[in-house]
Chains A and B, each alone.
Chain A
Amino acid sequence: MEGGGAAPGLLAPAPRPLVRLRGVGKRYGAGTLALHGVDLDIGRGDFLSLLGPSGCGKSTLLRILAGLTSASSGTLDWPSAANDARGVQAPRLGFVFQEPTLMPWATALANAALPLRLEGVARSEREARAAEALARVGLAGFERAYPRALSGGMRMRVSIARALVTRPDILLMDEPFAALDEITRFRLNNDLLEIWHEAGFTVVFVTHSVFESVYLSRRIAVMASRPGRIEAEIAVPSPYPRGEAFRTSAEYAAICRTVSLALAEAIAA
């Protein structure tokens, strides 16, 4: 559903975004204001990066989107999400943590099938779908392997397969590749873009790397801290698929410079 070319007017909000945040803030018990006045629309099929220094509330914002913590002010709704089993309008979520966060006692297949198991999907169906998700992240043949026997990059792939297995509307990723070496990170960047391009779900990607955010995203929200807020939104108009040629292009370097300057300004503000 997402075309390869750069669509015009990227910053113009879609008529019915997938998620709409208005004045969202988060204050923790001790009185720390982690997030203040966040207005954000995320359209279907978007790839949005939340970029900022540590402590800017980007992970808090992601946890609010995931429903793992509630906003202390403002509103969050999902205007175009379907109703779930309880009749509440809610999106299908996928979440990828910074650590692979796998169950060490379960095989790659059982780990990837976990969301379906919790939903009560029958064994044969959930195993078939989990195997399909593993194949999609390049782990066909590793179904019976335990996490202990897999490399760091492969564990992260299992974690991504688990997030994809429910065919989510939106994939929330919290610095998923920060702990990996650069070569593995580049490879997973490319693979993630390929899967996103094929499946057309929405991605919200938390990172503190300017280069990673520019390479991956269609849109970057630059955040600042004390209080955590969105300081600037920058569109990355470069067409997909993006490959190694893009990584070394002058266009990429120019956008990275723009984003770096915006980030420096946000930190200084």
Chain B
Amino acid sequence: MMLAPDEAPRPVTVRRVRGLAAEAWLRILMPLLIGALSLSAWEWAVRVNEVPPYILPAPSVIWATLVRDWPSLSISLWITLQITFAALAVAAALGLLLAVLFAQSKWIELSLFPYAVVLQVTPIVAIAPLIIIWVDDIRLALLICAWIVAFFPILSNTTFGLNSVDHNLADLFRLYRASRLQALLFLRLPAAMPFFLAGLRISGGLALIGAIVAEFVAGTGGRASGLAYRILEAGYQLQIPRMFAALLLICIAGIAIFLALGLVQHIALRRWHESAMRREG
């Protein structure tokens, strides 16, 4: 049996400039340009109108503050990130585990899923004080708060993914008498992978927000406190540029987490999933 030459698909060609696709350059350059323009406008407006720094500091002042206060701010950043990553890891592991449990039986899913929703819709600001009272270890309390916020998208997405297996493929596994474990490992988990990773990407940002909200509520002082406390502290002392510098660090951390998880998603799915494919033409 031979394959006819016209039966094989043609390879995709992409125009490249210095190793990057031309479209990728545009995707990097355009946001940078917009950012540079708005920063310049901000700087210009502050200087021309002589706005005092305790109302709105100029970008150059914020940058100078960030550089000057880097030793103390970086410690706080590291503490906030530790809580974020720990919460994200626990959310990913527990979300995946619970989703697999839900997928075992419709009954388990129907009985437990509403409580996961309750957890999701309860405002974290409202329950954070309770958690902080109940849990002695403040870092553990912060981790639980961040986890509650980050947990739901992973659980919900993975459950959806485990249940959206191609019916014919499921039939095929039945035909070859696959065990439940085989169907889970070789069919349902790989099929749920893109959904899990999409959930993880949402949860990355949420874990950071959860950690910071909890830190705000806890308001712990001392050297070993997170970025939220630095913002509160700077607010009390009217050190507005320092407040902005801490805010900037939170933004950068959030963007970095989002990009890193996007990269993980791309690497895991690049060979087979539509979302990671470059379109022709």
- Determine whether the beta carbon of A184 is less than 8 Å from that of B190: no
Q: Which of A74-82, A133-141, A201-209, A214-222 contacts B (4 or more CB under 8 A)?
A: A133-141
B1 and A151: CB pair below 8 A? Answer: no
Contact residues in A for B182 (Cβ distance below 8 Å) = 118
Q: Do A105 and B4 form a contact, CB below 8 Å, given A68-B175, A97-B168?
A: no
B272 touches A105 (CB 8 A): yes
What are 16 residue pairs bridging A and B, where the CB atoms are less than 8 Å apart in the complex?
A68-B171, A68-B174, A93-B175, A95-B171, A95-B172, A97-B171, A104-B273, A114-B176, A118-B177, A136-B1, A137-B1, A151-B9, A154-B9, A187-B7, A194-B1, A195-B1
A150 touches B9 (CB 8 A): yes
A147 and B166 in contact (CB under 8 A), knowing A115-B176, A153-B7, A191-B1?
no
From A114, A151, A191, give the contact of B8 (CB < 8 A): A151
- In chain B, positions 256-281 with a C-beta closer than 8 Å to chain A are 271-274, 277
Q: Enumerate B151-180 residues with CB–CB distance to A below 8 Å.
A: 166, 168-169, 171-178
Q: A106-B272, A154-B7 are in contact. List 16 more A-B contacts (CB 8 A).
A: A68-B174, A97-B168, A99-B168, A101-B166, A101-B169, A114-B186, A118-B173, A118-B186, A139-B3, A146-B271, A146-B272, A148-B274, A150-B9, A151-B8, A154-B9, A187-B4
Interface residues on B, range: 20 to 34
Near A by CB (< 8 A), chain B positions 216-236 give: none
Q: Which residues of chain B are near A195, meaning CB under 8 Å?
A: 1
Per-position contact with B for A168-212: 1 when CB-CB < 8 Å, else 0? Answer: 000000000000000010010001001100000000000000000
- Say which residue of A148, A187, A194 sits within 8 Å of B272 (CB atoms): A148
B187 is an interface residue with CB less than 8 A from chain A: yes
Q: Do B177 and A138 touch (CB < 8 A)?
A: no
With beta carbons under 8 angstroms apart, the residue of A67, A147, A148 that contacts B277 is: A148
Whether the pair A147, B178 counts as a contact (CB closer than 8 A) is no
Q: A101-B166, A150-B9 are in contact. Are A138 and B2 (CB under 8 A)?
A: yes
Find residues 1-20 in chain B having any chain A CB closer than 8 Å to their own CB: 1-4, 7-9
Q: Does A167 interact with chain B (Cβ within 8 Å)? A: no
A-side contacts of B166, CB under 8 Å:
101
* Alpha-carbon separation in the docked complex, A101 to B8 (Å): 19
- Cβ of B193 under 8 Å from chain A: yes
- Known A-B contacts A147-B272, A150-B9, A151-B8; A101 and B172 likewise in contact (beta carbons under 8 Å): yes
CA distance A146 to B176 in the complex (A): 22
The 4 A-B pairs with the shortest beta carbon distances in the complex, nearest first, are: A138-B1, A138-B3, A101-B168, A118-B176
> Of residues 113 to 168 in A, which have CB atoms within 8 Å of B's CB atoms?
114-115, 117-119, 136-139, 146-151, 153-154, 157
A6 proximal to B (CB < 8 A): no
CB distance from A142 to the nearest CB of B (A): 8
Name the CB-closest residue of A to B183: A118
Instruction: Check A154 against B272 for contact (C-beta < 8 Å).
Output: no
Kindly identify which residue among B1, B7, B171, B190 contacts A103, using a CB–CB cutoff of 8 Å: B190
- Which one of B171, B176, B193 has the highest number of Cβ atoms from chain A below 10 Å of its Cβ? B176
Give the one of B1, B166, B187, B273 with max A CB within 10 A: B1
**A93 contacts across to B, CB distance below 8 A:** 175
Please give me the residue from chain B that is nearest to A102 by CB atom: B169
Check if A66 sits within 8 Å of B176, measured CB to CB.
no
CB-CB nearest in chain B for A90: B177
* Among A114, A138, A139, A147: residue with most chain B CB under 10 A: A114
Asked if B2 contacts A103 (CB within 8 A), the reply is no
Determine which of A66, A105, A153, A194 lies in contact with B175 in the assembled complex, contact meaning CB atoms within 8 Å: A66
Assess A184 versus B7: contact at CB under 8 Å? Given A103-B190, A114-B186, A118-B182. yes
Task: Indicate which residue in A103, A119, A151, A154 contacts B187 across the interface (CB closer than 8 Å).
Answer: A103
Given the complex, which residues of B lie within 8 Å of A105, measured CB to CB? Answer: 190-191, 193, 271-273
In the complex, what residues of A have CB within 8 A of residue B176's CB? 114-115, 118-119
